[in-house]
């Protein structure tokens, strides 16, 4: 693998001033040689003009959070990262690589989770280039490589975990967002390391059942919520009935036999667990 090699390019301002000075001196010598008919000097000075102009080509600009990858006839020479006007061999090929933090949001992918349910899922990945040589020479197009490998990692992650827990699974896509984000970041990083890319963050940005089963799954979730709510209501009602019986017995307000206790428990549960307000009934008789 080709890894990044930092080189210290010469400062551009002094080199620019030097080339301008050489060009002025060379033109002055040509004028001097022409006036004094010094042909050899004139030939040499004229020949130096294209050389000096070629030297100007070696000047290049490095912006903040940017690097220039330098090549000489196809061979990797090094990477210049210090910002400002720089100068290097004019025959070097120079390719800019941004070191800025970037983000990529995948499209909504339709995949099956580990339970076989079709779901829609998307992710946002924050990344940056940390090795310019690997980014340029190890993959064909590192930006396209990031996009494709991110979607591949997302598909693989979605098929390895269920959308929600059915059989007490440890990690689910909906209930464990932080754990899923950590797993996704690791998997994407493993795929992009060879491209000289560091994954700063990866998170699920969209997660839903596919349209063909969304309505059925919504009913299932509603049923689960209703059952959970009913369970909590019943537990609370039983506790309140128990407290009422204990208070009546402790304060000796009334002595109830088992049949009257059963009737009282039944009435209290109806009042506490019913969805509608209970209608009072005045009992002027007796249970017996």
* pLDDT tens track for 180-227: 999 999 999 999 999 999 999 999 988 888 776 556 666 666 666 667
288 residues of the chain, pLDDT tens digit each: 788 888 888 898 999 999 999 999 988 888 888 888 878 888 888 888 899 999 999 999 999 999 999 999 889 999 998 999 999 999 999 999 999 999 989 888 888 888 788 888 999 999 999 999 999 998 989 999 999 999 999 999 988 888 877 666 578 888 888 999 999 999 999 999 999 999 999 999 888 887 765 566 666 666 666 677 677 777 777 777 777 777 767 776 666 666 666 766 676 666 666 655 656 665 555 555
Closest CA to 101 of 125, 84, 134: 125
Angle (CA) 51-83-100 rounded to 5° is 130
Phi and psi at residue 89, to the nearest 5°: -45, 125
- Enter the pTM of the model: 0.69
102-209, which class in CATH?
alpha beta
Location of structure tokens 């690097």: 67
């Amino acid at each position: 693998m080709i890894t990044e090699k930092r080189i210290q390019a010469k400062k551009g301002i002094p080199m620019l001033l030097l080339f301008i000075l050489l060009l002025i001196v060379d033109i002055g010598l040509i004028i001097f040689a022409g006036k004094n008919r010094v042909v050899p000097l004139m030939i040499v000075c004229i020949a130096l003009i294209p050389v000096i102009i070629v030297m100007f080509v070696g000047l290049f600009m490095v912006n903040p959070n940017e690097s220039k990858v330098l090549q000489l006839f196809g061979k990797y020479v090094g990477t210049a990262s210090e910002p400002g006007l720089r100068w290097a061999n004019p025959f070097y090929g120079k390719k800019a690589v941004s070191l800025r933090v970037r983000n990529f949001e995948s499209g909504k992918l339709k995949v099956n989770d580990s339970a076989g349910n079709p779901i829609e899922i998307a992710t946002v990945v924050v990344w940056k280039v940390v090795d310019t040589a690997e980014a340029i020479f190890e993959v064909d197009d590192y930006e396209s490589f990031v996009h494709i490998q991110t979607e591949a990692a997302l598909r693989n992650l979605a098929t390895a975990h269920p959308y929600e827990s059915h059989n007490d699974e440890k990690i689910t896509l909906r209930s464990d967002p932080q754990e899923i984000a950590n797993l996704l970041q690791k998997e994407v990083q493993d795929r992009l390391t060879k491209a000289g890319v560091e994954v700063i963050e990866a998170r699920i940005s969209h997660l839903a059942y596919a349209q063909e089963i969304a309505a059925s799954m919504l009913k299932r979730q509603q049923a689960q919520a209703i059952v959970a709510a009913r369970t909590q209501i019943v537990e609370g009602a039983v506790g309140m009935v128990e407290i009422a019986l204990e208070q009546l017995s402790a304060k000796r307000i009334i002595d109830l036999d088992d049949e009257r206790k059963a009737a009282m428990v039944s009435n209290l549960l109806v009042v506490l667990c019913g969805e509608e307000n209970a209608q009072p009934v005045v009992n002027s008789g007796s249970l017996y």
